[in-house]
Structure 1
């Protein structure tokens, strides 16, 4: 205490007006941490600094290096760690993530010895081992791996640009000798495998195999008997294999994924399996187009197929239990079409469906309904091409992509200023479409090229399409996006209203470039008034309904 009775605190200095200022407390955190580091104290002493100031509270926990001082006297109490149940031990080891981290646990206690071999799943990762040393490393692997469920993950580093098929086969044999339950084998994309096919050895215990390469030709050996009898999931990327003979031998296969990249000779996909439940095929090379697809899978539930077609593709899908589908065929050129409309893509997918309720005040004013299958067609008007006699070939082409039943039709049209009503009504008149369709969505895509139609343009044929009648018994909802405000759009709308007795909802979205005049707005309102049972909306700006505008009808 000083003479005035104030505490003798060197941290406190008098500021303006006699106020006391905590100068140490004003230092930045980085400097305070440096002070703690230079003290060289353990965690207990550092934690005591929290009483100095609120600024110091928890500051010690942010030190880069914390030392805990343990007493020199040996602990003589019971081994509490060894008293824990094995299930808890296995959870601790499992969170370490790999065999390399889990195996040293044998130093902790005798109870931990060999415990890592009982882990539900561990990963043996060989990512940085040179190709020439991989086989020797696998040969030194402990036999205890047989006792656990482990993933053998081999990633050949980018060190060589060419290996021989024999060397690669020998490496796969060394991996198979360890009998992993799961295998992931990755070759660099720039690596070339010389000579002939690479023999794929047996992985008797493997339930999951994933192979990544570039144009790797595999020839499975001893594909009968117990060779792959446990395999449930197979993923091949850039691998050429005879699917027609290999897949039927995999009696437990549930999931098959194929990524076809730059593969010559993989233009035919034949997959017949009595156990397959999920199939994924991604054909990424437009220069080696598919010519044949044959799938026979009686219990298949999910199908994902994306491929390129340069000519006629034979399609045969037999999957009566299919629930989810994502089908996409991309044409390398306009080889099918109708009139001047060429088709560039055909798709079929499963989509979630929501039904809007009448309450607009609630945020969650929609009900989720069962999913539906949507058939999608992408077509483009071709001024320099025409398909005058292609009706039958177009119908057959679209029909073979209808690999399952559907109830919705999405049309993506790049009109380039042409009339679209005639071609859309022709498509709606196809037997499998007009009998199944419940929802119709038309997306009018913009284009920098917009030509005025000549008087006898093919896009307006047949010329009587405006008075045509098509009985669309199940059509309930129509959406048209990208409307530009032309009279032929209104003509098409009138046909839809007239031919769909069960129509309940029509929504129009105007293009950003659309500038409808008052006469067009009056006509579109009159159409809505003629069918009061239909909920009819017009969005002047795409994505937002402006009910107060003159073109909005309900």
Structure 2
């Protein structure tokens, strides 16, 4: 207000400005973004409202705080006892961990502190904490979780720990997301006990490399989700289906060809088995094959994951390459549990058709095939008619064929 006046403010206006300057300390929530340590310390001293609903602090990224400042900041936040706490700090590389204070009345904590390690307080903990979002920081979950009996949501987008044991025991936990980067070269032992969990996602990067299929294939990551499934190609029915679909385990593999980095001593079999997840019935493959045939490697992966009931594949490729080894077309593998197959961006090329034939031949209890044709294929193309003709030889298999998300053929 004072800045809007072109001359000296009147006594009444000056009094009003002073009143407004003091009102902010009584607000129910506080957000300090793009702030520096000095002004923040002065502001927090002025706050006299008990238990604000939110305390959100985001420092400038070029401010790397020393451990003593971070510890002091956390102590000041704990004294205010906000219902929700969000803190973003660039901590630099700290050699010794910082002790967390007790947050007796805080239900949600989000800590985004780069390269900062934490230890627990000698007494007390987080008795009402329901949601924890820990980004980039490091803490021993086996110590933290027993002190958080009400925890329902655990989000760790970048797990960074030297520990080779990952222990999560949380009876009230309902949602968990973890992306483990630092255990890429470790045989990490996972202990997970959360009987109430409904939404679960685990992800881990890999280095496995193989030359077995004519070209180099690299397994980049494995992801396990316990989630609801719907038909991704029929966008109009996704929301309706998701309300009724049961939750299932989904194992997603991300692979790419012509990648020079990796470790040939690590096999795909070893990486999948050491992931220590077996409760999945859906296999989802994200292949970046840069023009190479995928039939051989997909059949190989199906042979490793024989318990799956649903296969989803999301890309296509071209033929006429050294990777197009003919023996996979006559290969027989046992797929006695496979009931559903989904293939996106299908072009109808010969090797794709041969792969579909192999699935139909090996999956003796197959119930449904869903194909989404590439934009380059029209509904009048001979490829569409060829697929329909092949599926007619399997009358017990239901099928849906889509183009641009539009259903062009259905057999129920």
Task: Give yes or no for TM over 0.5.
Answer: yes
The whole-number CA distance in structure 1 between the counterparts of 2:61 and 2:380 is 68
- 1:460 is aligned to 325
Deviation digits for residues 225-256 of structure 1, max 9, x if unmatched? x35445444444443444454x15515251xx
The residue aligned with 2:391 is 528
Instruction: Please say if residues 152 and 184 of structure 1, whose CA atoms lie closer than 8 Å, have aligned partners that are also in contact.
Output: yes
Unaligned runs of 5+ in 2: 1-21
1:365 and 1:420 map into 2 onto residues whose CA distance is 30
2:166 counterpart residue number = 294
Structure 1 CA distance, aligned partners of 2:65 and 2:264? 54
Q: Does 1:350 align with 2:226?
A: yes
Q: Is 1:130–1:159's contact at 8 Å kept on the other side of the alignment?
A: no
Q: CA RMSD in A?
A: 4.5
| TM-score, normalised relative to structure 2 | 0.72
| Number of equivalenced pairs | 381
Gaps of 5+ in 1: 1-98, 105-121, 255-276
Tell me the TM-score normalised to structure 1 length: 0.56
The answer to whether 1:403 aligns with 2:277 is yes
Task: Check whether the contact 1:347–1:401 (CA below 8 A) recurs between aligned residues.
Answer: no
Matches for 1:81-230 after TM superposition, within 5 Å: 100=23, 122-123=28-29, 131-132=37-38, 135=41, 138=44, 142=48, 145=50, 149-151=51-53, 153=55, 155=57, 158=60, 161=63, 164-176=66-78, 178=79, 180-182=81-83, 184=85, 186=87, 188-189=89-90, 197-221=97-121, 223-224=122-123, 226=124, 228-230=126-128
Q: Distance in 1 between matches of 2:201 and 2:38?
A: 42
CA distance in 2, matches of 1:419, 1:281: 36
Matches within 5 A, 1:5-404: 100=23, 122-123=28-29, 131-132=37-38, 135=41, 138=44, 142=48, 145=50, 149-151=51-53, 153=55, 155=57, 158=60, 161=63, 164-176=66-78, 178=79, 180-182=81-83, 184=85, 186=87, 188-189=89-90, 197-221=97-121, 223-224=122-123, 226=124, 228-245=126-143, 247-248=144-145, 250-254=147-151, 277-283=152-158, 292=164, 294-297=166-169, 299=171, 300-308=173-181, 310-319=184-193, 321=195, 322-331=197-206, 335=209, 339=213, 340=215, 341-354=217-230, 368-382=244-258, 393-401=267-275, 403=277
The superposition leaves residues 334-386 of structure 1 with CA deviations (integer Å, 9 ceiling, x where unpaired) of: 54675343222222223433589xxx9xx979983212222112222338799
C-alpha separation in 1, matches of 2:392 and 2:102: 72
| Alpha-carbon distance change, 336 to 283 in structure 1, aligned in 2, over 3 angstroms | farther
Which residues in structure 2 correspond to 1:435-454 (within 5 Å)?
Answer: 435=307, 437-445=308-316, 452-454=320-322
The CA deviation at 1:133 is: 5.8
In 2, the alpha carbon distance for the partners of 1:473 and 1:212 equals 46
Residue aligned with 1:419, SS? coil
Per the alignment, do residues 337 and 411 of structure 1 end up closer, same or farther by CA in structure 2, a change over 3 Å counting? farther
**Whole-Å Cα distance in 2 between the matches of residues 388 and 165 of structure 1?**
41
Q: Structure 2: how far apart are the matches of 1:129 and 1:482?
A: 48
> d(CA) in 1 for partners of 2:264 and 2:65?
54
**1:435-486: CA deviation from partner (whole Å, max 9, x where unpaired):** 2x2211222245xxx67323xx4x527x2x3333333233222222223333
Shift of 1:420: 2.2
